[in-house]
Every structure is written in structure tokens, then in C-alpha cells.
Amino acid sequence: MSEPHPGVHRVSVEALVEYPDRVDVRSPAEYAHDHAPGASNHPVLDDAERARIGTLYAQSPFEARKLGAAVVARNVATMLETAFMDRPREWRPLVYCWRGGQRSRSLAHVLNEIGWHAKQLDGGYRAYRRHVVASLAQLPGRFDFVVVCGLTGSGKSRLLNALDSAGAQVLDLEGLAHHRGSLLGDLPNAPQPSQKWFESRIVTALDALEPHRPVFVESESRRIGALQLPDGLLSSMQRGRRLTLDAAPSLRIDLLKQDYAHFFADTDRFIRRLDQLTTMHGKAVIARWEALAEAHEWDALLGELLERHYDPTYTRSLARFADAASPALRAEVRDVSAEGFAALAREVKAAFETAHAIAVP
């Protein structure tokens, strides 16, 4: 870690919550990969500038520092003339870079010279990342998770949304991951975040929850699309109480047709996704499913996918995931309208919050 600069006050990552206005001066690529929640990106060096100066540094550190200082000065001047021009006298930004070194110190120094109360994050992003890793190992164990289980199409995500609207505590992992956790789970126009940004979002979500109230979360395998659940969170979920949703096959098909409408509107894309199941189900079965897709026989196709692929896969996953010692309560989904899930959510919330109050004085 670089030595503290006498003109810039540093704060530890534990004090991050006291500084909601956060300025990330790293390059756009660094910022996109992961950043402190709520931070805005104002790079003192963009991606190309950082690469150019890094290459020059390997040849001559002195020349690199001269060029870097000139580029940083121009970029800081642009920030002052644009993004920061309307900031009030009382502005208290927390500035950070990769390791709390020259990039963040250069901006924080200028801001303080102007009269703002800028602080520098001690250790920079690296300290923040260590904080996230430590939090993921400790935070999940504080909560009483209610794991919502159920076969594909039973309305687990819809119940979570309704529970959230009803004021229950919800950890929406698929929302944080931008993925529904299945073969067709990727969301249109919503790419998945990086693994590190996913973990940062989980920590932010957990920090907002109250340990004395139950937290509803959907049952997940270890992976959600390309992302992996942190071990500590998965273990805490496995120890949680379970609520299993039961829904008739016809209702499940109706829900899937709504959730995956973007796939049904692009038959070629749907068929390409089915091709990924060839090794599991064989060419003859995939050919029949592709023929159903081309004929837009969605009810028949979804019925077979549920019976032959989704249900066996989910059952095996749940058997590995769920704690057999944890009793599973059941709820039947009869009405898949928004009003129906809202009513079910109110019943579920009342039942589990009452039980939690009895179990935890």
C-alpha cells in the first residue's frame, strides 16, 4: 500500500456506509467489472490512457509519471467543468482507485484544495473487495432463510415479487444475477454481471435486511447461469426452512409461456437453445421438440420439456440442495393472476413471520 499523503484524509472500508457519494476514478473497464455500490465512475485515466502509460512505465517510470500527470490533470479539469460543477460547498465525496494510490489521491487533493471535503478510501478497491469476501462468509449466517421451492413454472419468482410488495424481506438472487437459473433463463437485453459485481450486489442486499425477520429466497443450484452462489450463502440457505409450491401442469405451462414469451417470438433462437440438450436427450427427441417449436405447438412442447427435462433435473438438484432435516411446508398455487399471488403472499408472510416471532423471543 502506498504511504498516506499528508493533505488527504483516509477512511477505512468499515466507514464506507458514512460516505454514500462515492467516486471511482479507475478506468471504465475496471469499474464495469466491479465497484462499490452507488459509486459513479469518473476515470482520471480511461482504458486506452491507462494502457499507454502502463506500457511507457515499463520503459521509463519518470517519463510515464510526466505523461500521466498531464493526462490526469486534463481529465480532472474536465470533471470540474462538467460533472462536479454543480456540487454544493458541503459535498463529501469518498474517492478510490485500485489500491488507494496516486489516481485517487490526485483527484482528492484537487477537490480538497477547492474547498470540498473529499476523503480517500484506504486501500482502495482492493480493500473493498476483501470486505465483500469477508462479508459473504459472515453475513448469511445471521439470517433465517425461508427457501421457496417448487418445480419449474410453479411461480416461485412471482411469489417472491408478491412477498416483496407485501413488505416481507426478500433476497432476489435471480434478479441480482439477471438470470432465471435455467436453460432458457437469460433475460432479454440484460447481460449477467461479473461474478465480483454479483457478489457486491448480494452483500448490499444482505446489508439492507433485518436479522430478526425471516428472509424469503428462491431455491437455487450452485450456479445461476454463468454465476456461482457464494459458499456461505448456499450453506445458510440449505439450513433454512422450506416452502414448496405445488401447481397443476396446465398452470405451470401458462406461466412459462408468459415468462419465456421472448423465446417464443424467436423460434430460431429457441431451437438453438434446444440443441444444447442433444447429449442429454438424444437427437430423435430434440428433433421432435424442434418440430413442435417450428409448428408453434408450445403447450405440447412445454409439457414434454417439463416432464422429461425440467422436473427430473430440478428434483435431482433439490435432493442435493435441501437439508432433509428441515421440514418442508407446502402451498398450492390455484390462481396465477397478480391478485392470486398477492393473496398467497399475504398468507405466507403472516404464517412465517408469526412462526419466527414464536421461535425467536
Q: Which residues form the catalytic set?
A: 97
What would the DSSP string read from start to end of 66-119? HHHHHHHHHHHHHHHHTTTTT--TT---EEE-SSSSHHHHHHHHHHHHHT---E
DSSP reduced 3-state for 43? coil
328, β-bridge pairs: 242
190, β-bridge pairs: 187
CA distance 21 to 58: 35
The sheet with strand 22-24 has its strands ordered as 10-11, 119-121, 94-96, 22-24, 40-41
The sheet with strand 241-247 has its strands ordered as 169-171, 215-218, 145-150, 241-247, 328-333
**Alpha-carbon Rg for the chain in angstroms:** 25
Which cell numbers hold the place of 100?
488507494
In eight-state DSSP terms, residue 296 is T
Q: Say how many C-beta atoms besides its own lie within 10 A of residue 127's C-beta.
A: 18
